[in-house]
Amino acid sequence: MKTMNFSLIRILFALVIGLVLVIWPDAAANYIVITVGIAFLLPGVISLISYFGRKKPADGMSLRFPIEGVGSLLFGIWLIVMPDFFADVLMFLLGFILVMGGVQQIASLSMARRWMPVPGAYYLVPSLILIAGIVALFNPTGARNTAFIIIGITSLVYSVSELINWFKFVRRRPINPVSHSDDDIEDAKIIE
């Protein structure tokens, strides 16, 4: 019974996440950045509340001001207020990493041609990585939306396949796959 419930919950979450990412990829990116901002904001708020809520120690020493908490709080507010900016910065960073990776792979293959023949097909994947990086650098919003749509479609395919598996297999699983009756067990003999 528990397996069925967890499977259905997984299917439902994957379906909802997939639909949101496919229908509203731009809003999904903003909400992800806002969620990360909240994850930074909460520890900052908690550290400041605990600092101002504490009593001074009896030995007269002062408490250290939580500078990290203030930094976390300010960064969280910045992420919440400007999610588009950080999503674009993330895509620029990803584009730069892809460009560098594609160039490095092409250079490695070119170096390998000095001591052995390298077929042209080996240059296909590094070239695609380089092109994806260039697209992400010059169109970060479009690349971000495309990436989220691909992730959303993958999530939808996962939820549909999981639902099919649940209907075909999990739902029909026997309750007790290995059951022994008392007649199957033989009397044991004590050996001295």
Enumerate residues 6+ apart whose C-beta is below 8 A from 147. none
Distance from C-alpha of 8 to C-alpha of 16, rounded to nearest angstrom: 12
Q: Domain locations in the chain?
A: 2-56+64-172
Say whether pLDDT at 30 is over 90.
no
Say whether pLDDT at 173 is over 70.
no
| Percent above pLDDT 90 for the chain | 14
Q: Are 136 and 95 in contact (CB under 8 A)?
A: yes
Q: Select from 27, 63, 66, 18 the least CA-distant residue to 43.
A: 66
pTM over 0.75: no
Cα separations (Å) of 169 from 1, 73, 177, 178? 14, 48, 14, 17
Say whether pLDDT at 1 is over 50.
no
Enumerate residues 6+ apart whose C-beta is below 8 A from 11. 159, 162, 163, 166
Distance from C-alpha of 39 to C-alpha of 61, rounded to nearest angstrom: 31
Say whether pLDDT at 73 is over 70.
yes
Distance from C-alpha of 28 to C-alpha of 67, rounded to nearest angstrom: 31
Q: What one-character DSSP code corresponds to residue 57?
A: P
Say whether pLDDT at 56 is over 50.
yes
